[in-house]
Amino acid sequence: MSSATESLESDETASHPEAVSAFTESRVSQVGHVTSRAVHTCLNHPAESSQDVTMATDARGKCHRMSGRLEPPLRAAGVSGSAYLSAVRPRLRPLARAPPNREVGRPSLRTVPNSKPAAMGVDLYYMDLSAPCRSVMLLAKAIGLELNLKVTNIMTGETRTPEFIKMNPQHCLPTMDDDGFKLWESRAILSYLASKYGPAHLYPSDPKERAVVDQRLYFDMGTLYERFGKCVYPLMFGDGKIADNALDNLKEALGWLEGFFGDNQYVAGPKQTVADFAIASTVATIEACELVDLAAYPKLSAWLAACKTDMPGYAELNGQGATAFGGFYKAKVNA
């Protein structure tokens, strides 16, 4: 809980509904009866999506049942139970009346805090050089999910130990351990974390919208990153023989990606999704290797520039690792 929320004075809290909402949300998260995502929807973004409507409607009843438990801490901050309910009820009432398949407006791109206690976190075995690893760290930062980062050097055999192979027999990175649930393949991890901890727009429930997001993820894995790898990995880790058409194939993939944008701001449509985090890590690494002039792809270039400024922690969590990868590659080129 932030110090700003903790230090709300009674007169400010009593006179400003926003303060009541902020204080209530923090206490609700502490008590643990409503997820912070549902409470955020109830208090700040009513009826943003059909999924959140359902969640918020359920939260409505929980919020009312919770009022008795919340009264002591609320009173300590100068907020009466009636003040709490008067601030929350108007936001919850429309949600209770909303039909299950109600057409709703575009969700805000603001992310919400995760509901998992910070002390538990999620273990992530990673390397900064790995674009797939960086995509997971970017997403976690965006949704406020604490990661227990465990640097694992794949090049020195740290993924080949009996302990690691027991956790992940494919001995690849990134690998995630969420309270005993172990998962690898970065794009699967992105979808899982967004579904469990993030706002609905990051991995939408609508079948058509989700299919487009999945297509972009598969494109990133099976076409874009695969073609990029054929341009650099033989030189970095193999015999140095690169196919004559490797660079042309990468440029073709970038052209397809340029076309995916159309009139949209993001790679999978008008809303930010997990596909943006996956592809931002890939494209940043391509840029750092200086294989292709991205200026030839104006929509892609504008999107990447926006990612650098808008994605929380981009420079630290993606930029530095991409630059290190590019430096490694260029050192091999110049050797």
Fold that domain 122-199 belongs to in CATH: Glutaredoxin (3.40.30)
**Domain ranges in the chain?**
3-97, 122-199, 201-334
**Tens of pLDDT, residues 303-331:** 999 999 999 999 999 999 999 999 999 99
Q: Which of 7-11, 64-68, 318-322 has the lowest mean pLDDT?
A: 7-11
Fold that domain 201-334 belongs to in CATH: Glutathione S-transferase Yfyf (Class Pi); Chain A, domain 2 (1.20.1050)
Q: Pick the catalytic residue: 21, 50, 130, 186?
A: 130
| 3 belongs to the catalytic site | no
What DSSP string runs through 78-135? T--HHHHHHHHHHHHHHHHHS-TT---PPPP------SS-TTT-EEEEE-TT-HHHHH
The helix (H) or strand (E) run that includes residue 186 is: helix 186-197
* 272: alpha, beta or left? (left if phi > 0; alpha if psi -120 to 50): beta
Q: What is the mean pLDDT of residues 60-85?
A: 42
Max CA separation in the chain (angstroms): 73
**Tens of pLDDT, residues 139-184:** 999 999 999 999 999 999 999 999 999 999 999 999 999 999 999 9
Q: What is the mean pLDDT of residues 84-110?
A: 38
pTM above 0.85, yes or no: no
